[in-house]
Structure 1
Amino acid sequence: MIFIERVFVLKTPTMRLKRFLLRYFPPGIALEYIQGGKTKTKMLGLSSLSTRTNVNELAATIAADEPLVTPSVVPQLVESLCKLQTKLSDASNHWFHNSKTLKTHLLPLTNVAFDKQGKRCLTGSYDRTCKVWDTDSGKELCTLKGHKNVVYAVTFNSPFDDKILTGSFDKTACLWSAETGECYSTLWGHTAEVVAVQFNLQCHLVGTSSMDSTAKLFNIATGQEVATLHGHTGEVIALKFSDDGNQIITGSFDHSIGVWDTRTAKRVGILNGHLQEISNCLFNHDGSLIASSSMDKTAKVWDQRTFSSLATITGHNDEVLDIAFDYKGHQLATASTDATACIWDVHSDFKLLAKMKGHKEEVSKVCFSPAGARLLTASLDRTARLWNADTGNCIQILDGHTDDVFSCAFSYNGDIIITASKDNTCKIWR
């Protein structure tokens, strides 16, 4: 999440409102205030905010329910709500152009990632390095060297973006400075390839998963292993932290998803029901739902509290390779080997909302634009495509790669797209 500072002072005998902080996706306003000499924060979720919301009425409702919001700051609250509403417009008429082509590595790429602002991106490669790029200029900022085998997984510690985590086929993960490229620590312990890595949102833990059928938690400050998550009987190829950092889920080739408490390192739930290998798993924003995709041609949606299956999504006729929630967690997108992507209603009846047809080969990656009005897909047909998430109509074809496009991503603001290809290049679209 990204917060934008807005400062307002509220004089009361016991509390003083310091500032409003805006969270764009999902929309929210944090009230930072001082009480008893201590700074505290209260988050107001605004998931119902839309481009059609009457912001004056919403501001009045917030002021009536929230003592910190007094009449004197309501005009500034309305201004802040308008800013959030503008972000939700999603720049729906924006047409993307290829602004830069990054000729990144001598050997094929494995993965790419933006920082939170979209100012830098990472590329991992079979050449055993990770590179950091300036997306405005296309300049290589630094090369992270040290791994002894393929660098398969790469990520920033957003929203801070001062550290980078890489996972490698050399059975290690490494923690790096995003500014200098210095390796802070090498995370040892896995006995097979490390294929997924993630920082928790609070950025004090990292998670790694491996083909050795385990996942591990490491302390960022010390680089020391905190716990090994045992229980899977097949390779662990996906892991995701919940936003509060208290849980982590792992997806495995043993057909199951494990749910773990990061505070105790105990498995608190296991999601069984898929008939073949898991390809991905993730939480929705508020952590109430877990989604999973599988080579069994289905996706599933699970209740995080009861670990029970709420729905099995069966609209594809081949393997489901990737999934993505929109920012509200009300819609789920699926990508399949059958050359289509679909959007499903997971808020009420799990029905098919839109089907994206047009790719000539398998769709390997899918993601919503930050405001949710567009869907981005990557395909082995050497293109990425932008789709209207309501109608399923193709808005734009992003072409120019000369080999499979295996990854794509929006920047946080939705105004930049990155596509990565087996042609050893990344393209930046603005």
Structure 2
Amino acid sequence: MKSDFKFSNLLGTVYRQGNVLFSQDGSKLLSPVGNRVSVFDLINNTAFTFEYEHRKNVAVVDINKQGTLLLSIDVDGRGILANFKTRNVLHHFNFKEKVYDLKFSPDGKLFALACGRFLQIWRTPETTEDRQFAPFVRYRIHAGHFSDITSLTWSKDSRFIISTSKDLTARIWSVNSEEKNLASTTFAGHRDNVIGAYFSDDQEKIYTVSKDGALFQWEYTKKPGEGEDNDEDEEDVDLSKYSWRITKKNFFHANRAKVKCSAFHAASNILTVGFSNGEFRLYELPEFIMIQQLSMGQNAVNTVAINSSGEWLAFGSSKLGQLIVYEWQSESYILKQQGHFDTLNGLCYSPDGSKIVTASHEGKIKIWDVASGFCLATFDEHAGGVSAVEFAKKGQVLFSASLDGTVKAWDLIRYRNFRTFTATERIQFNSLAVDPSGEVVCAGSEDSFDIFVWSVQTGQLVDTLSGHEGPISCLSFSNENGVLASASWDKTIRVWSLFGRSQQVEPFEVFSDVLSISMKPDGQQIAASTLAGQILFFDVAEGKQVGNIDGKRDIISGRHLEDRFTSESSARSKYFTTIHYSFDGLSLVAAGNNNSICLYDIPNEVLLRRFTVSKNMMLNGTMEFLNSSRMTEAGSLDLIDQDAENSDLEDRVDNSLPGSNRGGDLSTRRVRPAIRVTSIRFSPTANAFAAGSTEGLLVYSVDNTILFDPFDLDVDVTPQNVIQSLDDKEYLNAILMAFRLNEGYLIHRVYENIPIKDIPLIAHELPVVYVSRILKFIGEYALESQHLEFNLLWIKSVLTAHGKYISTNKHQFSSALRAVQRFIGRMANDVVQTYKRNKYTLDFLTNTDGSSTNAVDEDMNLLGNDSDNESEDKEDINMDDDLDGGEWVGFEEKTINLPVNDEDSDDEILL
């Protein structure tokens, strides 16, 4: 069993707080998710999350114009500089004050920070210098505002910066000292906080937007009372007579809704404004013409961004975790994603490992694509929180149990609910198990001591399993023999044979409360996690305990903010609430209401690896040490609201329902979420496992880049060696080196020079690392190539040799298989069209007898010269001889039967 798992992606949440922004080319969108940063590739439809973590939630993030450096800063002012392309952390830095905004200059040499009421300008670390003693060097600091700065905007030439503040003003600053006199202006006149200020494209106008919905236009004009200059020479202009003045005032009139965010695209003069009621508008300046007015819900729009071309708009709402990318010209959505805003209760993998289904306490079920990281569908028909989800073995039917007293079956082909199962009385289901055949579904509840069994075909309750003397806590089905295991509060585990003649079972006695059970895939063993912190293993056939793992010493529980002791002295959550077997039954992964995920080796009963769920200090249970200076007789100083009345009113008002944010102590005034893992599952492909936590859906997978490639060891990879290997007929070495160099002309040359008889052997010896790459290359190359049969032989050989590996890792070959399928479908369509065009010609030639042919030849001889006809006949005979005795180079003689439909020409061959 592999143990080299590492964090690969974060699903289940797409936006938390802070600002979103586009990359310079406009194809990627960066979004803060808690203390991490996620990147959504809008062109290739994929998403990934950076592996590094901040100590607290990310407040601001920005990327330089070259697209190489990513700087993210958390709410405490601690920044992390990372290489955006390689995803490696370069430097950590503490700015020692809360940062409200961050902007790189257009030329990429500087970046500006809004630290409290001060404007700080720093030099961007240069990649040309190999070693830097101080990567962050402060260039200049400006003071002038009387309250916190809310936003920053650079001029297009990187000479000036406009800052807006809560003191109802905006100021313009000069980066260079010699231009200080040109940029010492305060823009005053607004009656509420100024949230944005922007330069026009020609930098002749400045627009300021305030929170109360006012838009002011400023221009550099003459002061009132000054006469006109007779001399229009620019060298004699008296700048003392000029100043920035308001030339136009406009108002949004949003019906008591406050402006939350704004963005301006100078090239197209498009202003986008987001309001506190979920509405966003598009205006064309300077005429102030409203282009569009839409709404993304009833919650506030917290951030807005415009890509470099001005075509796409990105909106983020932190209340429900919504992220939208909108193309305003075509009025269509490029991206619409929303994460869970309540606790994740359960998750399960699809049988092929390509999808993950999550269930939340808000009553929604979401289906996530593992390869892309996007949500594919959402089911919200449950009236209560969804407690468990399970797949049928074939993967086309999903079952869910809910606290609303129903178990629903979902069709994942048509994405609809086709069965609803209920009990004889209204009870809340908290556990679910599905027979591998998909014929029977079972559910248990804490309200009843019985296990309910339904038939999927009829939807009727067919059996009620009685025997437990306490509420049912968890259920688990075997994947092989249809054996059901159940655990109860009566401290027993029972094994039921649903399809056997006798329903009598002997309970397994456990001396502590069972929190979770998992059955080995072969059905021969059961693992049970207890409240005492142990994992017990029982043999089903013998009916006795065969193993024991003490997990208390492996768990890092972490201290809460109000605790007066360290995490080592904490006895809280020293147990596992969710466990799951690996596909081979040799490993087990366990987690609970703590900050640890433990991977165990079952035969040796040892801990293989321990993963830390989160380092976010804004969650209870992540801290280890006690800072006594922060503790008082009344509690921790961190629980006191330092901003009080200085913060915004809408940020202080709590409109959430009591108890809606679970994970803290609901009896206290402040509900602080605690770190926990509610469900954990191994992937059927054995290369990943997923954990549903407070931070979202964490996916840990094996790093495929470290797969063994024997040609990395003793081959000097150069273009000359590739050609030499091809001349020496070492075709496997040649094609592998060509793919490693990733040179198109080399790959084409090697690919076309491989003999047909060697294709099956080379495909069989091809390492799995290169299977996806060669399939994708063939799919793209074959669309323009004339060697139809040659490409088909390659595809057949590769699929024959590696079909089993491809079927178990479908999500890794999705793009390559789509390319191959597109080629085969187009080729089949061309063959069908060619046959249809020549159908009657072929019938004429095949139905013409020899007598008519001879008569035509005699008529032709009468018209021409006999000698000429003889020479032509000789040439024809010679050509026929060449065809009969010759040989087609590079092809074999084969017959391909294609289905032909005269009525429909869009035939496809599905791979």
TM-score normalised by the shorter chain: which range applies?
0.5 to 0.7
Aligned equivalent of 2:476, options 240, 246, 249:
240
Partner SS for 2:528: strand
Deviation per CA, 1:368-416, whole angstroms, max 9, x where unpaired?
4556576665555778474889xxxxxxxxxxxxxxxxxxxxx974968
Change (3 A) 1:267 1:175: farther
| Mapped contact 1:249–1:260 kept (Cα < 8 A) | yes
Corresponding residue for 2:491? 255
**Alignment partner, residue 903 of structure 2:** none
Return the offset for 1:291.
0.5
Match of 1:340 in 2: 596
Are 1:162 and 2:416 matched, yes or no?
Answer: no
1:285 aligns with 2:521: yes
**Which of 337, 340, 356 pairs up with 2:610?**
356
Letter in 2 for 1:281: I
Q: Which residue of 2 aligns with 1:227?
A: 463
Instruction: Name the CA shift for 1:375/1:352 in 2 (closer, same or farther; >3 Å).
Output: farther
State the number of aligned residues.
Answer: 303
Contact 2:359 2:388 in 1 (8 A): yes
CA-CA distance at 1:299 after TM superposition: 0.9
8 A contact 1:168–1:195 mirrored in 2? yes
- Tell which structure's C-alpha radius of gyration is larger: 2
Q: Given the alignment, which residue of 186, 209, 216 partners 2:444?
A: 209
Q: CA deviation at 1:284?
A: 1.1
User: How far has the Cα of 1:214 moved from its partner?
Assistant: 2.0
- Measured in 2, the distance between the counterparts of 1:164 and 1:368 equals 17
Could you tell me whether the CA contact under 8 Å between 2:534 and 2:551 is conserved in 1?
yes
Query: Secondary structure at 1:306's aligned position in 2?
Result: coil
User: Is contact 1:133-1:142 (8 Å) kept?
Assistant: no
- How far apart are 1:130 and its partner, in Å? 3.0
1:345: Cα distance to partner? 3.6
The aligned counterpart of 2:97 is: none
- Residues 281 and 293 of structure 1 are in contact (CA less than 8 Å); yes or no, is this contact kept in structure 2? yes
Q: 1:306 maps to what in 2?
A: 542
SS in 2 for 1:244: coil
Query: 2:461 and 2:490 mapped to 1: Cα distance?
Result: 24
Q: Say whether residues 1:328 and 2:581 are aligned partners.
A: no
Q: Distance in 2 between matches of 1:137 and 1:342?
A: 24
Specify the alignment match of 2:292 in structure 1: none
Question: In proportion to residue count, which structure has more helix?
Answer: 2
Quote the offset at 1:94 in angstroms: 9.6
SS in structure 1 opposite 2:479? Answer: coil
Counterpart contact for 1:342–1:352, Cα < 8 Å? no
CA deviation after TM superposition for structure 1 residue 326, in Å: 2.2
Distance 1:223 1:134 in 2: 29
- Residues in 2 aligned to 1:385 and 1:124: alpha-carbon distance in whole angstroms: 16
Once residues 417 and 352 of structure 2 are traced to their aligned partners in structure 1, the CA distance between those partners, rounded to angstroms, is 23
**Partner of 1:296 in structure 2?**
532
Deviation at 1:170, TM superposition (A): 1.6
Supply the distance in 2 between the matched residues of 1:181 and 1:93 (Cα, whole angstroms): 32
The secondary structure found in structure 1 opposite 2:577 is strand
Kept in 1, the 8 Å contact 2:452–2:464? The answer is: yes
Identity %: 20
- The secondary structure found in structure 2 opposite 1:166 is strand
Task: Report what 1:273 is aligned to.
Answer: 510
Matches within 5 A, 1:8-407: 96=9, 99-100=46-47, 102-105=337-340, 107-132=342-367, 136=372, 138=374, 140-141=376-377, 143-145=379-381, 147-158=382-393, 160-189=394-423, 191-211=426-446, 212-263=448-499, 264=501, 266-276=503-513, 278-317=514-553, 318-337=574-593, 339-347=595-603, 350-356=604-610, 358-359=612-613, 360=622, 362-368=676-682, 370=684, 379-380=693-694, 384=698, 386=700
1:214–1:326: structure 2 CA closer, same or farther, 3 Å change rule?
same
Residues 371 and 204 (structure 1 numbering): CA distance in 2 closer, same or farther, change over 3 Å? closer
* AA matched with 1:113: C
**Aligned-pair distance for 1:293?**
0.5
Q: What's 2:110 paired with? A: none
Give the match for residue 398 of structure 1: none
Q: 1:335 deviation in Å?
A: 2.4
Q: CA deviation at 1:336?
A: 4.4
Root-mean-square deviation (CA), in Å?
Answer: 3.7
CA distance in 1 between counterparts of 2:8 and 2:366 reads: 28
Amino acid in structure 2 at the alignment position of 1:197: L
The 3 A distance-change label for structure 1 pair 218 and 271 is same
Closer, same or farther: CA 218–265 of 1 in aligned 2, 3 Å: farther
Provide the rounded CA distance (Å) in 1 between the counterparts of 2:602 and 2:347: 28
User: In terms of mean alpha carbon deviation, does 375-384 or 104-113 score higher?
Assistant: 375-384
Distance 1:375 1:132, change over 3 A: closer
Greater relative contact order, per chain length (Cα 8 Å cut-off, separation 6+): 1
Deviations 1:285-339 (A, max 9, x none): 2211111111121110001112211123223151222222222212233324453
C-alpha change, 1:182 and 1:385, in structure 2 (3 Å) is: closer
1:386/1:209 Cα in 2 relative to 1: closer, same or farther (>3 Å)?
Answer: same
1:427 aligns with none
8 Å contact from structure 1 (residues 129, 143) kept in 2: yes
The 1:139/1:309 distance shift into structure 2, 3 A limit, reads: closer
CA pair 140-167 structure 1, distance change in 2 beyond 3 A: same
The 8 Å contact of residues 215 and 228 in structure 1, kept in 2 or not, is answered as yes
CA gap 1:313/1:178 in 2 versus in 1, 3 angstroms? same
Structure 2: how far apart are the matches of 1:132 and 1:326? 22
Note if contact 1:194-1:209 (Cα within 8 Å) is conserved in structure 2.
Answer: yes
Structure 1 pair 228/385, CA: closer, same or farther in 2 (3 Å)? same
Deviation, structure 1 residue 194: 0.8
Structure 1 pair 324–306 and aligned structure 2 pair: CA distance change class (3 A): same
Give 1:128 deviation, angstroms: 3.2
Structure 1 residues 105 and 310, CA gap change in structure 2 (3 angstroms): closer
CA 1:323 to 1:248, structure 2 compared with 1: closer, same or farther past 3 Å?
Answer: same
CA contact (8 A) 2:344 2:678 kept: no
The AA in structure 2 aligned to 1:314 is D
Closer, same or farther: CA 327–180 of 1 in aligned 2, 3 Å = closer
Contact kept? 1:368, 1:376, Cα under 8 Å: yes
Q: Is the 8 A contact 1:331 1:346 kept in 2?
A: yes
Q: Structure 1 residues 107-116 or 307-316, which shifts more?
A: 107-116
Work out whether residues 320 and 336 of structure 1, in 8 Å CA contact, stay in contact via their aligned partners in 2. yes
